[in-house]
Homo-oligomer: A and B are copies of this chain.
Amino acid sequence: MELVDILKPIEADMQKVELQLRDAARAEFGPLALVIESIIESGGKRMRPAATLLAGRMFPQRDDNLLKLAVSVELLHMATLIHDDLLDKAATRRGSATINSKWDSKSTVLAGDYVWAKAAKIAAEVGNTKVLGIFADTIMVIVEGEIKQDYTGSSSNPNRDEYYTRIYAKTASLFEGALRSAAVLGNASDAHINALGMYGRKLGTAFQIIDDVLDFVGTPAEVGKPVGSDLRQGIVTLPAIIYYEKHPKHPVIASIAVKNGHSTLELEEVIEDIRTSPEMTAARQEAQELVREAQRALEALPKTKYRQTLHQLADYVVERKK
């Protein structure tokens, strides 16, 4: 099923989110507005606002606030991408040149700060202190995660615990916070808030694993990056970790995390080894299991079309090709 078909029940909401994102980009100052518009228009799947809206729609609540929450979540995501691209010195994102490959680092810092400030402003407009607390906590988790990654680097052995900790901070925490917030805004019970938080966390984790799988198997045209770009940067993700578990004596994979200098040829070879190994399927299966757990968490919630859509959204996360 295509994402656009899955999201039919919130089609009108998603269009409003898109318009509000464009409004948010309308910075008073021209050149910056162009840049932020280009980020917003480069698209992305809008998974975070979609999941936020679906969770929120399960409870009767004010449309305007739920929409603002969804917009603010996507802006926060974009802000972290901008600083992240700078930190990773990434050259492309979603197939387009990243801000920092077009701008200097100064402008990238400022653009990230601006989108971040805008996210905070819109979140503040929602006017719910509990939601703002979740928003602020999520920012802390994301930033602490980036710092840990930067300072500890990876340990000498590619390591599953580190990986899951890292992707929680990087991706799952925002899904978790967004879905909890949507439920809080709808005055949901603690049981429902927790169920949606759990769903968000599992979904976000699965989403990141599949992103990391697609980094190996997607074509550059599909994923907008060179094949194996994570490993080329010394970032060891689940497919490589499982591959290492099966081939602990592999000369390249074992030392990639400690960033011993590897030739491009060595990297190409190990990327090809991983890409064509059964470990790709094993990584997908881990994501699949998380999706099942996410779907089980939904069982605590009222049976509505929104719950059904969240269920389908979870299936989409592992089935997607880009």
Q: List residues of chain A with CB under 8 Å of any chain B CB.
A: 27-29, 31-32, 83, 86-87, 105-107, 109-114, 116-118, 120-121, 123-125, 127-129, 132-133, 135-137, 139-140, 142-144, 146-148, 150-151
Q: Given the complex of chains A and B, what is the CA–CA distance between A87 and B110 in angstroms?
A: 9
Contact pick for A139, options B105, B107, B112, B121, CB 8 Å: B121
Tell me if B83 and A31 are in contact (CB < 8 A): no
B-side contacts of A151, CB under 8 Å: 29, 31-32
Q: Are A136 and B114 in contact (CB under 8 A)?
A: no
Q: Do most interface residues of chain A lie in helix, strand or loop, or is the interface mixed? A: helix
User: Residues of B contacting A140 with CB < 8 Å?
Assistant: 114, 117-118, 121
**Smallest Cβ-Cβ distance to A122: which chain B residue:** B136
Give, as a whole number of angstroms, the nearest-CB distance from A285 to chain B: 32
Name the one of B32, B116, B132, B144 contacting A129, with C-beta atoms under 8 angstroms: B132
Contact A136 B150 (CB under 8 A): no
Q: With both chains docked as a complex, state the minimum distance between the C-beta of A154 and any C-beta of chain B, in angstroms.
A: 15
Q: What are 22 residue pairs bridging A and B, where the CB atoms are less than 8 Å apart in the complex? A: A27-B147, A29-B147, A29-B148, A83-B109, A83-B110, A86-B106, A87-B109, A87-B110, A105-B105, A109-B109, A110-B143, A110-B146, A110-B147, A110-B150, A117-B142, A117-B143, A118-B140, A120-B135, A121-B133, A124-B133, A125-B133, A132-B132
Complex: A140 Cα to B124 Cα, angstroms: 12
Question: Which residue among A113, A128, A143 has the maximum number of chain B CB atoms within 10 Å of its CB?
Answer: A113
Whether A120 contacts B120 in the complex (CB less than 8 A), given A32-B147, A86-B109, A129-B132, comes out as yes
Residues of B within 8 A of A116 (CB): 116, 139
Please report the C-alpha to C-alpha distance between residue A118 and residue B151 in the assembled complex, in whole angstroms: 19
- Asked if B109 contacts A28 (CB within 8 A), the reply is no
**CB nearest to A120 among chain B residues:** B136
Looking at the assembled complex, report how far the CB atom of A11 sits from the nearest CB atom of chain B, in whole angstroms.
Answer: 30
Q: In the complex, A316→B132 CA distance in Å?
A: 37
Give bound CA distance, A40 to B244, whole Å: 43
Min CB gap A178→B, angstroms: 16
Contacts of A107 in B (CB 8 A): 150
